[in-house]
A and B are shown apart, each in its own frame.
Chain A
Amino acid sequence: MKILYGMQKPDEGTITVDGTQVTFASPADAIATGIGMVHQHFMLADNLTVLENVVLGGEKLHGIGSRARKRILEISEAYGLGVRPDALVEQLGVADRQRVEILKVLYRGARTLILDEPTAVLVPQEVDALFDNLRELKAEGLTVIFISHKLGEVLSVADDITVIRRGTTVGTADPRTTTPKQLAELMVGSELPSPETRESTVTGVPMLQVAGLQLNAVDPDGVVREVLAGIDFTIHKGEVMGIAGVEGNGQTELIEALMGMRDPDGGVISLDGADISHLPTRKRREGGLGYIPEDRHRHGLLLEAPLWENRILGHVTQAPNSKKGLLDPKAARRDTERIVREYDVRTPGIDVTAASLSGGNQQKLIVGREMSHAPKLLIAAHPTRGVDVGAQAQIWDQIREARREGLAVLLISADLDELIGLSDTLRVMYRGRLVADADPATITPEELGSAMTGAATGHLEATPEELAAAKTAADQQATAPAGTDAPGGTGESDASAGTGESAPTEHSARPEQSARPENGESR
């Protein structure tokens, strides 16, 4: 991907565009040949308008004035992108930003689009809209390279599939004749990993209790804003509680309050019966808090430090890393070797820097590190984001394993399949509040998705037919942890049946994608 976009040079091989062989020295060359890239992390300036963002760096094409605006509207119309050129980017949602990114690429005359994990940040309804856009592009004769590890999406949108594993093409597939299972086997070389947890291990012993948690932030212009309000929940030993929500609705702040990186303005957090509301981060970590951060580069690793120093990070006061204030590099190194071995971190040694490992291996190192200190509660934020399928399965296994041994887990993820599959209880976060809860045994990603946009609150119930179908499934599986079991659930739980039902109607306006066969069948 980086090579196609001219960010890296290949050692061997050729790239052919439209029958002519090309070499790229920089992204500018790639753009000139009509290749455009929509990055996973958006590259937009928040404080500029859409128009300004689009023309930035492409001023020579159509100027920066009315000509550019006309061109943007033309493109927007032609492909049904619905972009407003004068809106400030900071006011746009994630899906809109993504459309701006696509428009930016088209504006530069791209005929081949590379989309890198474009659906990672979208809710299901937005994914459908994106796919509609992509079909428009296709109809206009553009080429789209769609990179994703979500098989259902690939199958529903692609005309041709190439599977790459560890840097080599392992096969191609025809989406019309391939099942997700076959595709998955191609991808991992074995069975499809599934986040599904089989038996419930939830106990009655509360591990983390949060009551009335409140966090305020002061805007630059002095306005006090509630970032978190009235957060109540309990996670028991052996329970995985998932929090769904569109990014930026307070999940990050919740984690920071739990980790002690931000001091809450109200409420009580207690871990295993001890009040930790205002303890410093280090004390909390020593008290048994494990943390898999959402941004491992910023919060989980020292990128330019060797692996064994990264193994110490976050646990510098604990054995085997140090004794009486002094580091014990020998023991730390030995233990790093163990983590590398047991958690299958692919590295030539423990003296290489963390930056030289792939994302999946970095994450495995972090998971190994956090698990090595027998945490009571694990906070896992997007634990498998940007991680290859093989590593993903391993990380899921490890979370499941630890859960069986009585670990409580707070799981925050944008991958709804992961949330539904791993969690025993589910909560939905919207604008800093926990607005809805759901039973992962019966909920579908679509329903969860509409609750994430604030369309549904309270206890999410499926429609009667769905409920009946789900019930038989649930009885067969004999899984029981219902979301409402947790004490201190949202107050609106009872009055929610009406609003809850609006969830399916909300999304029934859109044609159902056959993206997730397991769920599709049950409907």
Chain B
Amino acid sequence: MKKFDKDRLLLGLAGPALALVVAFLLTSVVLLLSGRDPVEPYTLMFENAEFTDVQVLILNQTGTYYLAALAVAIGFRMNLFNIGVDGQYRLAAMLAAVVGASIELPGPLHILLIVLVAMLVGALWSGIAGFLKTTRGVSEVVSTIMLNSIATSLIAWLILPANLGVQPAGSNDLTTGEIAESGWMPGLDVEGGSIYGFTLIAFALGVVYWFVLNRTRFGFDLRATGESESAAQASGVDAKRMVLTAMLISGAVAGLSGMPLLLGQTHTYSLSFPVGVGFTGITIALLGRNNPVGIFFAALLISFLEKTSASLDQYGYEKEIATIMQGLIVISVVVSYELVRQYGLRRQQQKVGEELAAQARKNKEEVAA
């Protein structure tokens, strides 16, 4: 029945398409209401994207977002709402940077150590939420939000020069000290800049994500638990252990999302390290429907909006237009996916009914003949 596959693909694309169209239209309405040209910002943004340096920026940003969104998606597939990706990512990046700056090892080992520390810290931080959920029944939504705040305060305290931080001479910024060059990850030099090495690893992880979910027993258990916890439990999945495992993996991947930037460019964690990556990751995972390819395009879109809108204010438009648009995308995504899902389900039921009726008719005719 290839037909149903094609149907599913079409419906799968209809959701995001509908959401994006609605979001663009609504943004135009906002622009109109504020007395601006409703189309010009878009053309400006597209023109902006023609510069190669902007393209490199977009791609690198995509890598970071891709990892954050994968972390969120792992939770989503299991019906877990890991809102704490942001805290996990920041704390992991910071502690990995601290460890990286304090040790010197031969090249690949140094990088590997930093990456491992990041994964461990991320997993540990999300593991707290997983532990609370399995032992005390605390909603992971609440605990991860709280853990985000705690992470913010913890980082602010740890980065004080009295503790782990360093204040570079003649600067107000606080950093964790620079990682030695052996811990820098080489990038891919192209026209317009350098694509971080870890960006490519990020995309490779998408393949791993697909493989684990769709081709392993573990992935099947995870998806089954997400689709129906009661059915999974009856089928022999230990739901509690699954919650904890999924949270740990999600946190570990969240920990990785700081790596492209840390290993490829800043080589230190500072106060100016980007925040909110985890929240953008939620948007992207939603828009990409937890599908590794979908997430890639969603991450690309959001990065595009963000990077190309940066120079909008030169032309008298606020760059927050892109932020408004992101928000509108989230809302329309949620609404349109549910609409498309229900429509799809109903349509399939109808089709199955029709086909069965047709089969029955055929049988009857054969009998008659």
Contact = CB atoms under 8 A, between A and B. Distances in A.
B357 A325 contact: no
A304 B227 contact: yes
Given A327-B217, A348-B352, A285 B231 contact: no
A167 B357 contact: yes
Interface string B189-230: 000000000000000000000000011111111011001101
Given A167-B357, A347-B352, A281 B236 contact: yes
B171 to A, nearest CB: 51
A293 B228 CA distance: 14
Contacts of B233: 261, 281, 299
B345 A304 contact: yes
Nearest to B227: A302
A128 B54 CA distance: 79
A115 interface: no
B50 interface: no
Most chain-A CB neighbours within 10 Å: which of B214, B236, B349, B360? B236
B235 interface: yes
B234 A291 contact: yes
A3 B297 CA distance: 43
Given A355-B349, A356-B349, A299 B216 contact: no
Contact of A352 (B230, B232, B348, B357): B348
Contacts of B348: 352-353, 356
Contacts, number: 108
Contacts of B219: 327
A327 B220 contact: yes
B365 interface: no
Interface residues of A, number: 44
A190 to B, nearest CB: 13
Q: How large is the interface on B (under 10, 10 to 19, 20 to 34, 35 or more residues)?
A: 20 to 34
Interface string B235-248: 11110000000000
Interface in A275-296: 280-285, 291, 293
A347 B1 CA distance: 11
B1 A313 contact: no
B366 interface: no
A312 B220 contact: yes
A313 B230 CA distance: 12
Contacts of B232: 313
Given A348-B356, A352-B1, A353-B348, A299 B221 contact: no
A42 to B, nearest CB: 20
A300 interface: yes
A326 B352 contact: no
B235 A316 contact: yes
Most chain-A CB neighbours within 10 Å: which of B4, B235, B360? B235
A315 B217 CA distance: 10
A352 B237 CA distance: 24
A325 B355 contact: no
Nearest to B347: A356
A126 B218 CA distance: 48
A305 interface: yes
Given A299-B234, A326-B216, A352-B1, A346 B228 contact: no
A314 interface: yes
Contact of B220 (A316, A352, A353): A316
Contact of A301 (B221, B231, B359, B360): B231
Nearest to A324: B217
A75 interface: no
Interface string B272-303: 00000000000000000000000000000000
Interface in B323-362: 345, 348-349, 351-352, 355-357, 359-360
A299 B224 CA distance: 11
B349 A259 contact: no
B216 A313 contact: no
9 contacts: A282-B238, A291-B234, A298-B228, A298-B230, A314-B234, A347-B352, A351-B4, A352-B1, A352-B352
Interface of A: 166-167, 259-261, 280-285, 291, 293, 298-305, 309, 312-317, 322, 325-327, 329, 346-353, 355-357
Which 4 pairs between the two chains have the least Cβ-Cβ distance? A349-B1, A282-B236, A314-B235, A348-B355
